[in-house]
A = this chain, B = another copy of it.
Amino acid sequence: MVRRRSTKIEKSYHHGDLRRELLEAGLKILTEEGLHALTLRELARRVGVSHAAPYRHFADRDELILALALNGFERLAQALGEAGKQIRSPERQLEAMLMAYIAFGKGNMAQLTIMFSTIAAKKSETLLEAAMRAFSLLIDAVGKAQSKAGRPKVNHSEIALGLWVMVHGFAILGPGIDFNYIAPGSSDTADDTAERVLRLTLKSLLPSA
């Protein structure tokens, strides 16, 4: 009994996969129009159900946002994981992960914002765990980069934390600030500037790189 909407032929009373489609539509709205445009009624409209249907899957708007925040950490972890897939050098791999973080933020500003504002609201332990799962990828990468250089992993979690907040800052500030105004370097993009500063920091923090 197929009732997926993919073929959009059947129109049964029960939708069949509403929660997933709500999340997909929600992510789309969030990405394209921002948090203010993310409304349960618009969501219902897009998916083709009544305005109250979403309440069967999310207690309220906050819970929808929380679900999207969770999805954000999962997608972030995946992006980080794939970033250095075919790079051998651990230092380059770390660098690729950091740039992947910034790229994720660039393409998912609103989601990145809710990811951390939701965490700050401290409503969900699950969300915190998802965040830690993503972050542990960074810690590991720093550790590998250090141990490849033959030295013990000194302060490697502190360094990872520092790098994390740094790329997060770049991701958040990047779209708004004209970095050339600040760090003149012929005529490079915000990404280039971020990369340059990041490399500079990396070289300072882990001398092997």
Contacts and interface: CB of A to CB of B under 8 A. Distances in A.
Interface stretch (A6-14, A77-85, A112-120): A112-120
Interface stretch (A44-52, A143-151, A195-203): A195-203
Interface stretch (A18-26, A88-96, A158-166): A158-166
A72 to B, nearest CB: 13
Count this chain's copies in the assembly. Answer: 2
A159 B120 contact: no
B196 A201 contact: no
A77 B170 CA distance: 20
B117 A161 contact: no
Contacts of A168: 165, 168-169, 172-173
A70 interface: no
A162 B169 CA distance: 9
Given A162-B200, A165-B166, A169-B165, A116 B157 contact: no
Nearest to A164: B169
B113 A182 contact: no
Contacts of A113: 113, 117
B200 A158 contact: yes
Interface string A99-130: 00000000001000100110110100000100
A176 B135 contact: no
A181 B133 CA distance: 12
A161 B109 contact: no
A120 B157 CA distance: 31
A122 to B, nearest CB: 7
Lowest 3 CB-CB distances: which A-B pairs, in order? A165-B169, A119-B176, A204-B204
